[in-house]
Amino acid sequence: MERRRPEADHAVHTDSSVLRRTVRFATGRTGSLSRSRVLGAVALVVVVGPSLTALLVAIGARGDITVEALAYQLLVLVAALVGGAWPAVLAAMLSGLSLDYFFVAPVHRITVQQPSHLVALVLYVVSAVLVSVVVDRSARHARAARRAAAESALLTSIAGGVLRGDDALDALVDRTREAFGVASVRVLADGVEAAVSGDVRGDADVTRRLPAGGLLEIRGGTVGPGERRLLAVVEQQIDAALEHRVLARAAVDAERIAATDRVRSALLAAVGHDVRRPVAAATAAIGGLRAADVTLTESDREELLATADESLRSLAALLADLLDVSRVQAGVLAVTPQTIALEDVVAPALDELALGPTDVDLDLPADLLPVRADPVLLQRVVVNLLANAQRYSPEGARIRVAASAFGPAVELRVADTGPGIPPERREDVFLPFQRLGDTDNESGLGLGLALARGFTEGMGGTIRVDDTPGGGLTVVVRLPVAGAGQEGQQ
């Protein structure tokens, strides 16, 4: 499992906390202003209004209502700024009645004798309402801006998760759970879990049907009215990510099918050429031995027997390689790791190919640590690498076999001075039935390096190809040192 750095974890948790606060601040209210602001403004009108009236009455009237109207107008403006339209209208109505009752003659009666006073009261109430409408609209715009900021913050967080290497759908699910502060978020596609974040035990508190037919489940929290618009944006993104994952998997499946078809075609071509050749040679040799109308000398008979034996051995080797490739691809390769020294494997491999000091430069340090590998499979790897190097080396050129320790591993290098392989085609040499540049009939099925990779990886090692200094190809097999890093391989 990949471990994130502590500073990366801190950044992720910090982003999640900021995002959660942003979303709740932007979506936690159903109106343009919070309920607490509206109630606070009403309380302000109810408490300050009578106090202001008592103060103005104590000061005493001066024949007009200019000071009183401006004082009450200030109260209406403050109520509008704090609580919006409804507290401002309430303040305007109450202050209008107070002006008429306490300061417009005849006092202590709800009557208006002078038309100018009536016009002043009406204009006063209208101006108060207009101010409150402006404040309310400003609050609504600010609310929309905060909601847009919350959506942007959520989508930016998701994009950041994708850039850090997360799967798009997984990043969406994780950030949604963090943004809404719920216990878990799960996405189902065709009844199968596609992505999950958090603990999914228990029934879902919120279930949403996605546009493309998937299902979004939220546990450990509810979605308020103000959060539904943001949740709708998240649903669209999750739906798009789910569709992208389906298309990506379909593309991978199509590529896998195409690769299987290519392997099948290559196998048929190889069988039609390489397998048929030794069968035809063995059949011809045996037919010659059985011919009654032909008199064979002892040397002819020995030559035919040798041809038949060589052809059948070649056929058996080809069939064994095919069987090994099928086991590697099926993941049923039997591996028996042991502690072995590399010289105990390299020497038998050289003997098997009849390679001597004139053919190979050998550099195996005497103090080289033993490795953990299957001796039979490792010998097959070395034989295949030596055979491949011998096939592509120029006439009279020597193959170099060297080994050295690198920390908890040992690298075995088999280098030739042949034509080499272009960098863009290096991975192709490890595919079955690949014989890059071969034109002869002695190259086999092109399974040598494919088997070498399958055997090496089955033993917990790695294999790669590099350039040989001065030209050629070097195949590097990396195996774990015996007793080092065994826990990490399990």
Contact 76, 128 (CB under 8 A): yes
Average confidence (pLDDT) over 389-413 = 90
Length of the chain: 490
Query: What's the whole-number average pLDDT of the chain?
Result: 75
Contact 147, 26 (CB under 8 A): yes
Contact 337, 458 (CB under 8 A): no
Q: What is the pLDDT of residue 414?
A: 93
Average confidence (pLDDT) over 193-209 = 85
DSSP states along 379-394: HHHHHHHHHHHHHHSP
Q: What is the pLDDT of residue 441?
A: 37
Average confidence (pLDDT) over 83-103 = 80
Q: What is the pLDDT of residue 478?
A: 93
Q: Which residues of 240-263 are buried (b: 16+ CB within 10 A; e: fewer)?
A: bbbbebeeeeeeeeeeeeeeeeee
Least Cα distance to 182 among 217, 150, 221 occurs for 221
The Cβ of residue 32 has, within 10 Å, a number of other Cβ atoms equal to 19
Q: What is the DSSP letter of 468?
A: P
Comparing 82 with 8, the larger pLDDT belongs to: 82
- Burial class of 319 by CB neighbour count within 10 A (0 to 12, 13 to 18, 19+): exposed
Contact 56, 176 (CB under 8 A): no
Residue whose pair of structure tokens reads 């009752």 in the numeric block: 101
Lowest mean pLDDT, pick from 172-176, 217-221, 333-337, 468-472: 333-337
Distance CA 434, CA 266 (A): 9
Contact 383, 349 (CB under 8 A): yes
Position 4 confidence tier, pLDDT thresholds 50, 70, 90: very low
Average confidence (pLDDT) over 220-228 = 73
Residue 485 has pLDDT above 60, yes or no: no
Comparing 65 with 11, the larger pLDDT belongs to: 65
Position 165 confidence tier, pLDDT thresholds 50, 70, 90: very low
Assigned token pair, 367: 């103090």
Q: In what order do the strands lie in the sheet with 192-198?
A: 192-198, 184-189, 215-219, 206-209
Q: What is the pLDDT of residue 250?
A: 82
Residue 295 has pLDDT above 60, yes or no: yes
Q: What is the DSSP letter of 274?
A: I
Distance CA 88, CA 356 (A): 103
**Domains of the chain, CATH where assigned:** 7-149 (no CATH), 252-330 (1.10.287.130), 338-489 (3.30.565.10)
Position 404 confidence tier, pLDDT thresholds 50, 70, 90: very high
Position 216 confidence tier, pLDDT thresholds 50, 70, 90: confident
Least Cα distance to 327 among 256, 291, 377, 400 occurs for 377
**Residue 27: alpha-carbon gap to chain centroid:** 29
SS3 413: strand
Residue 261 has pLDDT above 90, yes or no: no
Look up the pTM and report it: 0.41
State how far the alpha carbon of 117 is from the alpha carbons of 71, 98, 106, 110, in Å: 16, 13, 12, 12
Q: Is the peptide bond before 365 cis (omega within 30 degrees of 0)?
A: no
SS3 231: helix
Average confidence (pLDDT) over 465-479 = 90
Q: What's the N-to-C CA distance of the chain in angstroms?
A: 13
Residue 15 has pLDDT above 60, yes or no: no
Average confidence (pLDDT) over 295-309 = 83
Contact 319, 279 (CB under 8 A): no
Instruction: Tell me the percentage of the chain whose pLDDT exceeds 70.
Output: 72
The angle at the Cα of 87, spanning 81 to 91, to the nearest 5 degrees, equals: 100
Residue 454 has pLDDT above 60, yes or no: yes
Contact 455, 329 (CB under 8 A): no
**99-142: per-residue pLDDT in tens?**
778 877 777 777 666 676 677 667 767 776 777 777 777 777 77
